Structure 1
Amino acid sequence: MKHLPFCMAIMFGAPAFADPCPAPPDHSTELSALIEAAQNAPDQSAAREISNDMWALWADAPDDRAQALLDEAMARREVGDYAAAEKAADALVAYCPDYAEGYNQRAFVNFLRGEYAAALPDLESALERAPRHIAAMTGQALTLVALDRKAEAALVLRAALDLNPWLSERALLKVIEKEEETL
């Protein structure tokens, strides 16, 4: 009995007595400054650079192990290896359940597969952990559109545009609103 935890860890493929994931980095001050900069950006090009800086914050994983899993998930997604990307994102979420980007990346994989209903809970989980994750917000809006939940999509997209009025998805809001008018 005394070796039971070790045996169970071997059986389930997890290292015995593995260190837990540290808390995600707190970039709230930097993110607030970037959101303000995006809101005051003179043009789309400047706003795009600011968005890239936001991405750097969201993609800053809690430790090297989490960063490796995130990088693997993103690299596999980029080449269309969705099964491997999902496996890496699953491992990241299991290891760092408080880190929003693991959920966001897994949602992105499901979105690209056209599995919108599977993407939505992960987007909600990402936004519970990082309410100003603008990329997750736009991902949620796009997913809701794909699920034909346009009124909800418009609400989410408006909230994202309040944070960054230069998002490329802003054109989608006009399309959604026009469709809602015809209903």
Structure 2
Amino acid sequence: MKPVLFALLLFFAARPALAQECPSPPDHSRAQDALIARIQGAQDEISARVLFNDLWQYWADAPDERAQEILDSGMRKRASWDLLGALEDFDRLIAYCPQYAEGYNQRAFVNFLRRDYTVALPDLERAIALSPRHIAAHSGRALTLFGLGRAEEAQAALAAALALNPWLPERTLASPAPEAAPSGQEL
């Protein structure tokens, strides 16, 4: 056997050990939908906040142990303000699990904290594309658009977030609905 052919065979035989693929993210949509419905029906902000915090157990449930370790490491680094270290972890997580929304949401959050809104926005949009009812990504997108000075888009993004959770603290940023003029009166 020629050395080049042998090297290629060896490479492809060892490849699964070298490049483990990330499994699909767990599907928690039914549990999340139930929590969102309870949030929407909450009688007060405190009750809604407790339910909203419960959503994080699902968003932060990574596809496998390796992804969970990377996510947890990045979140610890972010919490201690090692933002560059957190970015490295979230970059690795996204490279390993490109279909896992929380990787993008967390990387966007770090970039938001760094006030790098232009970099954060595409990650938030990707997180929402992967997880359309990810309330934190929706509210993060609204705040990022406000940071970019894109108020009209920010208001639309905030409305999408508030449709999922009307108790978000960011609700104070929502523009009041314009008052309709009484019929027969000019504006």
Give the TM-score normalised by structure 1: 0.88
CA contact (8 A) 1:6 1:16 kept: no
What is the aligned partner in structure 2 of residue 82 from structure 1?
83
CA contact (8 A) 1:142 1:153 kept: yes
TM-aligned CA distance change 1:156 to 1:5, over 3 Å: farther
What is the aligned partner in structure 2 of residue 10 from structure 1?
none
Offset at 1:32? 0.7
CA distance in 1, matches of 2:9, 2:140: 39
Q: Percentage identity across aligned positions?
A: 54
What is the aligned partner in structure 2 of residue 27 from structure 1?
28
CA contact (8 A) 1:73 1:84 kept: yes
Corresponding position: 1:148 with 2:132: no
TM-aligned CA distance change 1:71 to 1:5, over 3 Å: farther
CA contact (8 A) 1:93 1:103 kept: yes
Offset at 1:15? 8.7
CA distance in 2, matches of 1:5, 1:139: 47
Offset at 1:109? 0.6
Corresponding position: 1:137 with 2:138: yes
Unaligned runs of 5+ in 2: 179-187
TM-aligned CA distance change 1:16 to 1:46, over 3 Å: same
TM-aligned CA distance change 1:65 to 1:171, over 3 Å: same
Give the TM-score normalised by structure 2: 0.86
RMSD value, Cα: 2.1
TM-aligned CA distance change 1:144 to 1:126, over 3 Å: same
CA contact (8 A) 1:73 1:86 kept: yes
